[in-house]
Amino acid sequence: MTDLNPINYLDLLSIPELCEKNFFIPEYQRGYRWGEVQIRQLLEDLYTFFYDDKATGNFYCLQPVVVKEMTAEDIENLGLKSSKDNNRWYEVVDGQQRLTTIKIILMLENLLDEDKELSFEIFYKTRPELAKFFSLIGKQKNEEKKYQIIVQTERKLDIDSWHIIKAAQRIIDWFQNEELPYKPNIASFKGRFYESFSGDKSKQKSVQVIWYELRDDSDPYDMFKRLNDRSISLNNAELIRGMLLSDSAKYKFDPSLLEQFNDEVRPVVEEREQARKQSHIIEMWDIIESQLRDEKFWAFIKDDNRSEQYSCRIEYIFDILAQKDSNQKDPLYTYLSFDKYIKDNVYADLWDLWLSVETYFSLLKSWFNNSYFYHKIGFVISELGTTSLIGMLADAMKLSKDDFKKSIDNRISAIIRDNRNPNKSILDYSYDDNYALLKKVLFLYNVETTLQQGKEFFPFDLYKSKDWTLEHIHAQNSDRIDQSDKGKWEIWFKENEKVIKRLMYRLPNDEKLKALYENNFKPEYEKFEKNQNLYSFGELTKLFDLVFKYFDELNQNEDKPAAIHNISNMALLDGITNTSISNSVFEVKRQMILDADASGKYIPICTKKVFLKYYNKNEEYFTVQQNFYWSETDRQHYLDDIKRVLSEYIHEDNLSTPNDESEVTNE
C-alpha cells in the first residue's frame, strides 16, 4: 500500500470551522447518491451520541474529507467567487457525499430557524446550478401537520437535485416519524442538533470532521483514483502516521538540551531533534510492519490469522495500545484514542506515545521468540483474542516474571474450566455435554505437547487456517451417520472398501475377512451404486455393524475398547477430513491420516500420534494386527499421556481413570 506523504496536513475541524470554507467538486467526482441506509446510519449514530448518557467521548467523528487548496489561477479561470475565507477554495478529492449531506442538514437547520444561516459554499463543476439550488428548497406542512420538502422552481429537476431532495425528505421524516426512546418535538431536537452538531472542539458533544489536506505536489485526480482503487486508504494507521510525522506534530524536548543554546539557535535545535525523532519513527515503522508480515508471528499475536481489516498491520499494535475490543464499531476509534491520549496528557507527547508502541511490539516479539511464552500465550490469544492480549501486556508491565507466569496459567485454567461445574475434571468432559470445552482441552494438549518436546514451535498459522472438530478415535455406531446425506454414505463405502481390500492383501488367509467382503460388503456396495435412491439407511446400518464387528474381533487378545465420549477417545481433525472419515473404522481413519500427512497437509501432533500408534510404541508384544484397531490398551496409553502433559491443569484427586460406564450414552 502507498503511504500518505507526512508533509500533508491532518487535523480535526468542527462544523463551524468547516462552514468558513469553500469547496469545489471536480468533474471526476460522481453525483450525490447517499440513500436511506447511509442517512439513517448517520442520524442514528448522531442521535445516540447526543441523547444516550452511556455514549462515550466528547465528540463524534465523521469520516475523512481529503482536499487540496486550489491555485489563484484555477479559481479565476473557473469564476469561483465567495465572501468566505478570502475566496480561498479547496478541491474535494474524497468526502463529497459527506459534505453534501452536511450541507443538506445545515440547510434544514436554516429552514427550521431562519435566524441561523450556518453553512459553507460548495460548487459542483458538472452541476453549477446546484450551488444556488439549496436556497430554492423550502418546507410546508401537510394535512397531518408534518413537514414536507418543496422546491421553489419551475425547472425540471436533474438527477443530483432529485437525490438531494430525497435525502432532505428522509432526514425530515426520520426526525418526525422515527420511534425513539426520547422523542423531542422537531423544534427542540433542532436546538439540540444545532448546538451539538456545530459545537467547537472545546465543548462537550461536538461533531468533528477529519480534515486531510494535500500539501505536496500530488495530483488530486491521481489521489482520487488511488483512494477509490483502495491502493491507498485513510485508515487508523495512516491517520496516526500523519499525526506523528506531519509538520504540525508537537514534540517536547529535554530542557537541559535546549539550555545549552541561545534563543536564536534553539529553534534550529528543536527542528533538528524533531527531524531525528521522526526519522527514527519512519525507520521503526517499516521494521515493525515488515516483521508483522511474518505469517507465523501474525498468527501468534491474533486469535485468527486473517489480515483483511489491516492493510497496515502495525494498526493492530495501535489497536492494542488503544485497548480496542471486538465490540467497538467506530472505524476510527484507535486514531481518536491516540488523539485523546495526547490531549489528556496520558502520554507526555507524541514521542512518548510512539515509544509505547515500540515497547508493546518488543514485548510481543520477545514472547514470540521464547518457547514457554510462545506456547502458553499463543493458546490464550487463540481462545480469547485481543482483549486477553491487552490484559497480558498490562500484567507483564507490572508483575514479576514468576507472577506473570502464574497469571498466564490462571488464564489457561479459566479457559478450560466448566463454569457450570468448576470442580469437574477435564478428564470427565464429554462429547455431548462439553463439546466446546473438550475441543479447547485437546487444542491445549497439542500445544503443551509441542512445548514439552522442545524441538519445534506449535504452528499456530497452520492450525488457524482450518476449522477443527472432535473425532471419535474408536467410532461409535451407525446412528451418527447423516441419514439424509447419501453422499456421505458413498464416501463410507469407498473408504472402507479400500481398507478391506488392503487388509485382504496383508492377511490372505483370513477367511472371515474374505467372506465379509465377498458375501456382504461387495454386494451391498454394488446395490447402493446401482440405485442409491432405493438404498435404505437400515441396509447401511446392518453392513456397518458387520464391518465393525470384524475389526472388534481382531482385538481378540485384549479387552474391547469402550465406546466412550470423553477425552480418552477423542482427537482433533479438520472439519473436511472429519466429514470424510467420521464413523469409519480406525483403519480407514489411519490410512487417510497417513495419506494426508504424506501429502504435506497439517495434522495436529497428538492426532498424528494417535493414528500412527505412537502411544503404544513401547508395547513389548505389539503385533501387525494392532495397527488396524484402537484397543483399550491404546486408549489407556493415550489417557496416561494426557494426564502427564496436562497435569498442572488437572486436579490431583481426579487423576484416576474416568468412569467409562458413566460416559456411555445410548445413541
pLDDT tens per residue across span 495-547: 788 888 888 887 888 888 899 899 999 999 999 999 988 899 888 888 888 88
**361 and 323 in one domain?**
yes
What SS3 state is found at 231? coil
Cα distance between residue 88 and residue 80, in whole Å = 9
Inter-residue contact 350 to 244 (CB < 8 Å): yes
Contact 459, 548 (CB under 8 A): no
Strands 468-472 and 570-574: antiparallel
Dihedral pair phi/psi, residue 355, rounded to 5°: -60, -30
What pLDDT score does 156 carry? Answer: 76
Q: Let me know whether 71 and 100 are in one domain.
A: yes
140-177 pLDDT, tens digit each: 888 887 888 888 777 777 888 888 899 989 888 887 77
Residues 398 and 461 in one domain: no
Has residue 1 got a pLDDT over 50? no
The yes-or-no verdict on residue 207 having pLDDT over 50 is yes
> Does 172 share its domain with 85?
yes
Q: Convert the pLDDT of each residue in 540-557 to its tens digit.
A: 888 888 887 887 776 654
- The average confidence (pLDDT) of the chain is 81
Within-domain flag for 525: no
Residues 567, 637 within the same domain: yes
Q: How many domains does the chain have?
A: 3
Mean pLDDT of 426-442: 93
Torsion sign across C-alpha atoms 539, 540, 546, 552: negative
Both 33 and 175 in a single domain?
Answer: yes
For the residues 80-105, what does the mean pLDDT come to? Answer: 90
Q: Is residue 238 part of a domain?
A: no
Average pLDDT over residues 219-223: 75
Mean pLDDT of 25-53: 80
Distance between alpha carbon 166 and the CA centroid of its chain, in Å?
36
Q: Are residues 147 and 82 in the same domain?
A: yes
Among 104-108, 110-114, 608-612, 655-659, which stretch is predicted with the lowest mean pLDDT? 655-659
Scored b (16 or more CB within 10 A) or e, 55-74 reads eeeebbbbebbbbbebeeee
Q: How far apart are CA 12 and CA 210, in angstroms?
A: 5
Instruction: Please tell me the predicted confidence (pLDDT) of residue 366.
Output: 97
pLDDT over 90 percentage in the chain: 31
Q: Are residues 316 and 448 in the same domain?
A: no
User: What single-letter DSSP state applies at residue 566?
Assistant: B
Residue 326 forms part of a structural domain: yes
Predicted pLDDT at 364: 97
Cross-strand partners of 573: 469
**Residues 122-138 pLDDT 10s:** 988 888 888 788 888 88
Q: pLDDT, tens digit, for every residue of 314-344?
A: 999 999 999 998 877 777 889 888 988 988 8
In a domain, 523, yes or no: no
Task: Name the residue with higher pLDDT: 557 or 433.
Answer: 433
* 3-class DSSP state of 666: coil
**In this structure, are 267 and 228 located in the same domain?**
no
pLDDT value of position 69 = 93
In the prediction, which pLDDT does 596 show? 84
**Residue 289 pLDDT > 60, yes or no?**
yes
Are 439 and 604 within 8 A, CB to CB? no
pLDDT tens digits, one per residue of 230-248: 445 567 887 888 788 876 6
Q: What is the 3-state secondary structure (H, E, C) of 506-536?
A: HCCCCHHHHHHHHHHHHHHHHHHHHCCCCCC
Kindly state whether residues 224 and 325 are assigned to the same domain: no
pLDDT at 152: 79
Is the pTM for the entire model greater than 0.75? no
Average pLDDT for 453-479: 85
Would you say residue 510 lies in a domain?
Answer: no
User: Would you say residue 503 lies in a domain?
Assistant: no
pLDDT band at 112, cuts 50/70/90?
A: low
Query: How sure is the predictor about 645, in pLDDT bands with cuts at 50, 70 and 90?
Result: very high
- Determine the pLDDT at residue 490: 86
Is residue 93 predicted with pLDDT exceeding 50? yes
Helix, strand, coil percentages for the chain (3-state, nearest 5): 55, 10, 35
The predicted pLDDT at position 557 comes to 47
Q: Is 268:367 a contact under the CB 8 Å cutoff?
A: no
Query: Containing domain of residue 589, as a range?
Result: 435-484+552-663
Question: Long-range contacts of range 338-344, CB-CB < 8 Å, 24 or more positions apart?
Answer: 338/240, 338/243, 339/12, 339/243, 340/57
**Structural domain includes residue 202:** yes
Residue 123: which of 133, 110, 115 has the closest Cα? 133
Parallel/antiparallel/unpaired status of strands 22-25 and 121-124: parallel
**Would you state the cell numbers that stand for residue 49, as one nine-digit string?**
451520541
Alpha-carbon distance of 281 to 80, in angstroms, equals: 41
Residues 453, 587, single domain; the answer is yes
Q: Which three cell numbers stand for residue 500?
A: 478391506
Most confident of 52-66, 94-108, 234-248, 373-387: 373-387
Cβ–Cβ under 8 Å, residues 123 and 154? no
At residue 663 the predicted structure's pLDDT band, cuts being 50, 70 and 90, is: very low
- pLDDT at residue 291, rounded to an integer: 95
pLDDT at 476: 57
With H, G, I as helix, E, B as strand and everything else as coil, classify residue 476: coil
b/e 200-226 (16+ beta carbons within 10 angstroms → b): eeeeebbbbbbbbbbeeeeebeebbeb
**What is the residue-wise DSSP string for 38-52?**
HHHHHHHHHHHHHH-
* Distance (Å, whole) CA 448 – CA 172: 61
Range among 57-71, 547-561, 622-636 rated most confident: 57-71
Distance spanning both ends of the chain, measured CA to CA: 55
Kindly tell me if the per-residue pLDDT of 659 is higher than 50. no
Tell me, what's the pLDDT at 554? Answer: 67
Q: What is the pLDDT of residues 363-413, one digit of tens each?
A: 999 999 999 999 999 999 999 999 999 999 999 999 999 999 999 999 999
CB 94 within 8 A of CB 226: no
What does the pLDDT look like over 251-274, one tens digit per residue?
887 767 666 766 676 677 777 788
Neighbours of 368 (CB within 10 A): 18
Q: pLDDT over 70 for what percent of the chain? A: 81
584 and 650 share one domain: yes
Question: Do the domain assignments include residue 278?
Answer: yes
